[in-house]
Structure 1
Amino acid sequence: MFGYRVPAPNEALLISGKKQRGDDALQFKIVTGHGVFVIPIFSRASRLTLAMQEAEVVEDCFTQQGLTLGVQAVIAFKVGDDHESIAAAARRFQGDQSQMPTLVGRIFSGHLRSIIGSMTVEAIIREQQTLGEAILDASKAEMGKIGLAVDSLQISSIDDKGAGYIAALAAPHQAAVNQAAKIAQAAADQASAKAQQESARNQAEYSRQTAVARAQFQAEIDQAEQKASQAGPLAAAQAQQAVLAEQALVAQRNAELREAQLIAEIVKPAEAEAAATRTLARAQADATKMSAEAAAAEGRIALDQLVIKQLPEMLRAAAEGLQGANLTVLDGADGLSGVVASLAGQGLALLDSVRNGLAGQVADPAPASTTNGSTPDWTEPEQRALTN
């Protein structure tokens, strides 16, 4: 948007050209973190970096013993976040912000020479952290005046410029270290030799135990082979016996199956045929009996029919017999009833006699001779009965 300016997160926007209210000393406005309208012609906006920067210091310094040491250090710094620091840095570096590292290097070089001059080489080498803190404390006030803040200071190297002093200081320690290293190496060699000897003993013991185990294993194999060779015939005989026993079982099973087959094929059909024959004979006997009974019944029926046919003739003959008879009835009607009853009783007796005679003839189916071809020959009792 025309006239609207927004600073980056690591920048401060400086707006000048218009008098700021509330602060006569500050002739420009500082904007961070948000945008602002800048009126062209009447106002001007510039930017001041708030990013982290580095300054390197390489300086020859004299120690308390008068020895020259070459010291290298790296300082990490930036413009302070408060408006006072931003205003102080803007007044000094707004025209050329690249001058910040140069000025910081010069400030720390002076404080570095001053502090190293009050210390011995041994102290400098041994207490580098203390040296760095002392330099920061000495430069804090001066850095604050120009609006800069130091985040860290690291001493990267210290050199005695070839004098050998530092090497001489390190020699006893190096010798002690070398001696300790030699002792440690000797102890390590001794331990290694001992370990090799122990390993050799262990290897020999392992070889011995392996040989013993192999011998025992071979003996067990030989014994097993011997037992196997001896057990071969016995095992074959046992196997043969098992085969024979199995064959006997199979033969028995086959016999049982054959027996069941014979029963199913011969015995069962014979039994069924005999049962059928018996059933048929019984049925024929029953039929014969029923035929005989039917014939007897038919004979009785024929006899009764014959008697019935002869009964009128018999009654007629009886009447003719009584026609010329001289009967005297003494008791009147009662006497007449008795005569009639007597005649009826004789008639019934005569009827039974005739029936029995005819029944015998029916039972004996032999043909009877006839005199005239139609009337049968009666026996004497039958003729007597019929004529009386």
Structure 2
Amino acid sequence: MFGYHVPAPDEAMLISGGKGGHDGSPFRVVTGHGAFVMPFFRKVRYMTLAMAEAEVEEVCVSRQGIALNVRAVIAFKVGNDEESIINAAQRFLSDQDQMTVLTGRIFAGHLRSIVGSMTVEDIITERQKLATEVLDGSKAEMAKIGLTVDSLQIRSIDDMKIGYIAAMAAPHNAEIQRKAKVAQAQADQAAVEAEQESQRRQAEYARQTAVVQAQYKAEVDRAQAEAAQAGPLAQAESQREVIAMQTELAQREAELRQQQLVAEVIKPADAEAERVRILAQADAEKMRIQAEAAASYNRVALDRMLIDQLPQIVREAAQGLAGANVNILNGADGLGELASGLVGQGMAILDSVKRGLGSGGKPEIQSGEQQ
């Protein structure tokens, strides 16, 4: 829009003409927003608020009189407050590059002053202390011209080849070198030990690998051997089973043959032997009987004679009853009983005769009457 101006984020807009700014300032400061500027009656200028850098390289003399070349870098900028912007604008608005030149000169002066109050050893060993003291010494002066310092870094310090710093560092260098050699020796020893340990582990790994491979090969060989023997073993097992079956069959055949022998030979032989024994016993018994018969021939003849005479004896007994007075009771039954009694008497007489012959006496036959 015509007459409306907006500063950049890292700029401050300065409006001059007409009514002044704060505290009698010849211009009004605008940052972070735009403003309407009446043409022809107002003038707009811009002041940078960006970070700037100044390098300082200064020859300084230490408290011992040792000349030192010190190089430093200062990071600075215009302050963000309105007062700092006004102070900086009044000094550098027309030539803003002069801020870097003036800042370098200010810090060079303070650097010479601070280095002159310190020894080389302090400067070398306490660089941060040197930087802090330089900052503290220049802070008020920088604030007067509207600038603020963000950081100060001491980049390098050398004695311009005098050798003081090198001599000062020699004991430390020797100690450091000694420590470095010791550390190197320890590192070499550790490397050797590590190498030996690595070789030992490799050898152990190779041994374990060889053992595992040998075990694996043994298992493979055993499996292959078992596989190769599986056929013969199966055949041998089959043959063993066949032999066992044949043996069992032979045993059964032997048992059957034995049974057949028993049935066909032993039992007939036993039967024949039994028959012969029985025949022998029969013959013996026959001979005994014949002997007994020969010994008792007369007795047998006598028995036969008595038997032959038994009917006659009975008749004679019956004739003795002829004159007897016998009463027959019960009719035919009584008559049968009477006949039976007669026959019994005859048998009793026969037994009596036989007993008499057995005792060596002669038989006595008595006849009488039975009432």
TM-score range, shorter chain: 0.5 to 0.7
Give SS of 1:56's match.
Answer: strand
- Equivalent AA in structure 2 for residue 80 of structure 1: G
Q: TM-score, normalised by structure 2?
A: 0.58
Residue 131 of structure 2 corresponds to 132
For residues 82 and 205 of structure 1, what CA distance do their matches in structure 2 show?
75
For residues 213 and 8 of structure 2, what CA distance do their matches in structure 1 show?
85
Q: TM-score, normalised by structure 1?
A: 0.56
Unaligned 5+ runs, structure 1 = 243-388
For residues 19 and 135 of structure 2, what CA distance do their matches in structure 1 show?
37
Residue 17 of structure 1 corresponds to 17
Residue 5 of structure 1 corresponds to 5
Residue 304 of structure 1 corresponds to none
- The equivalences for 1:235-384 within 5 A come to 235-236=234-235
Unaligned 5+ runs, structure 2 = 242-371
- The equivalences for 1:176-187 within 5 A come to 176-187=175-186
Displacement of 1:211 in angstroms is: 5.7
Residue 40 of structure 2 corresponds to 41
For residues 173 and 41 of structure 1, what CA distance do their matches in structure 2 show?
71
Residue 193 of structure 1 corresponds to 192
Residue 115 of structure 1 corresponds to 114
Asked if structure 1 preserves the Cα contact closer than 8 Å seen for 2:57 and 2:71, the reply is yes
Displacement of 1:141 in angstroms is: 0.8
Displacement of 1:168 in angstroms is: 1.5
- Equivalent AA in structure 1 for residue 6 of structure 2: V
What is the Cα-based RMSD across aligned positions, in Å?
A: 2.8
Give SS of 1:96's match.
Answer: coil
For residues 237 and 65 of structure 2, what CA distance do their matches in structure 1 show?
112
Displacement of 1:215 in angstroms is: 5.7
Residue 368 of structure 2 corresponds to none
Residue 52 of structure 1 corresponds to 51
Displacement of 1:202 in angstroms is: 5.0
For residues 64 and 131 of structure 1, what CA distance do their matches in structure 2 show?
13
Relative distance call for 1:223 and 1:46 in structure 2 (3 A) is: closer
Q: Deviations over 1:158-211 (max 9, x none)?
A: 111001111122221121121112112222322333344445555555556666
| Structure 1 residue 78 corresponds to structure 2 residue 86 | no
Residue 28 of structure 1 corresponds to 27
Give SS of 1:104's match.
Answer: helix
Q: Percent identity among equivalent residues?
A: 63
Residue 86 of structure 2 corresponds to 87
| Structure 1 residue 62 corresponds to structure 2 residue 66 | no
Asked if structure 1 preserves the Cα contact closer than 8 Å seen for 2:78 and 2:148, the reply is yes
Q: Deviations over 1:282-328 (max 9, x none)?
A: xxxxxxxxxxxxxxxxxxxxxxxxxxxxxxxxxxxxxxxxxxxxxxx
Displacement of 1:42 in angstroms is: 1.9
Relative distance call for 1:3 and 1:239 in structure 2 (3 A) is: farther
For residues 232 and 22 of structure 1, what CA distance do their matches in structure 2 show?
116
Relative distance call for 1:47 and 1:224 in structure 2 (3 A) is: closer
Relative distance call for 1:188 and 1:22 in structure 2 (3 A) is: closer
For residues 108 and 68 of structure 1, what CA distance do their matches in structure 2 show?
18
Residue 310 of structure 1 corresponds to none
Residue 248 of structure 2 corresponds to none
Give SS of 2:154's match.
Answer: strand
Residue 150 of structure 1 corresponds to 149
For residues 13 and 206 of structure 1, what CA distance do their matches in structure 2 show?
78
For residues 176 and 105 of structure 1, what CA distance do their matches in structure 2 show?
39
Displacement of 1:120 in angstroms is: 0.6
Residue 291 of structure 1 corresponds to none
Displacement of 1:79 in angstroms is: 1.0
Relative distance call for 1:178 and 1:228 in structure 2 (3 A) is: same
For residues 91 and 174 of structure 1, what CA distance do their matches in structure 2 show?
53
